[in-house]
Amino acid sequence: MAKDDFGNWDDVLKFSGFKLSEVRRSGSPCFKEIEKIIEIIRSLNNSSFALNRSALSQHSHLIKSFLEERYGSAISGLSVVNAALLFFENWDNALWEAGLDPSSIRLRSRPHLSNISITPHQKEDVKIGGERRLSSFVGWAPKNPEELMDERETSNSFWDTMDQFDDDNRDTTQKIFDAILNMHHYKDSKQMVKFISQDTGIMEEQIRSLLSQFKSKYANNKNTSLF
């Protein structure tokens, strides 16, 4: 009778004051929606959960509790993986679609590189879903003096532009750029804005508006500096 009144057993448990993460040993099923799965993966990553598969299994109880607080369902780490595999060929592809770097998340060894001398800007050729990609794993290439001067000028123009916003918009715009800096990659500007919104809680329309304002102000600053 209770299930008929509430729709499902999880709703009965929540109405009775129980936390699903404490009652459901195996956890609730994960959403079967690509965008929601990607959002969950990014949410776990931004909250410092390790996303290699062994860690997802080991920290299952903490993940269930975290996702129940955020999404209302006590979804386990392995349930997220299994749902992702319905849409992606493998877990690496799911991580990549979420804008993350699988090579840094999966704690794989590199025996084939053990005899190569490490330079500050060495790159590893990794294979993800049959596609070759270059992934930096030790620092960046050294810059020449001209590049350093350009970088300094760009930094000054950036902060001059940021100072043209009022306090509220400046703080919000700073959060937007911080979120962008934390992204490994994104497919296009639409996905970038979606990731920023998921990570910061800022509405997508406001993100687009502030980025457009910043672009216009920044261009004016660069043009003014030429005269």
Residues 92 and 59: beta-carbon distance below 8 Å: no
Integer Cα distance of 52 and 91 in angstroms: 9
Which two structure tokens, joined as six digits, stand for 188? Answer: 């296009």
Name the burial class of residue 94, with classes exposed (0-12), middle (13-18) and buried (19+) by CB atoms within 10 angstroms of its CB.
buried
Q: How many domains does the chain have?
A: 3
Residues 11 and 101 in one domain: yes
Residues 9 and 91 in one domain: yes
Please write the tens of the pLDDT for every residue from 9-30: 566 555 555 555 555 556 678 8
Residues 169 and 162: beta-carbon distance below 8 Å: no
Mean pLDDT, the chain, rounded, equals: 77
Please write the tens of the pLDDT for every residue from 197-209: 999 999 999 999 9
Name the burial class of residue 40, with classes exposed (0-12), middle (13-18) and buried (19+) by CB atoms within 10 angstroms of its CB.
buried
Residues 132 and 88 in one domain: no
| Structural domain of 132 | 109-141
User: How wide is the angle at C-alpha 140 spanned by C-alphas 134 and 142, nearest 5°?
Assistant: 130
Q: Which residue has the higher pLDDT, 114 or 4?
A: 4
DSSP state for residue 188 in the 8-state scheme: S
**What local confidence, expressed as pLDDT, does residue 3 receive?**
46
Integer Cα distance of 193 and 210 in angstroms: 11
Residues 19 and 82 in one domain: yes
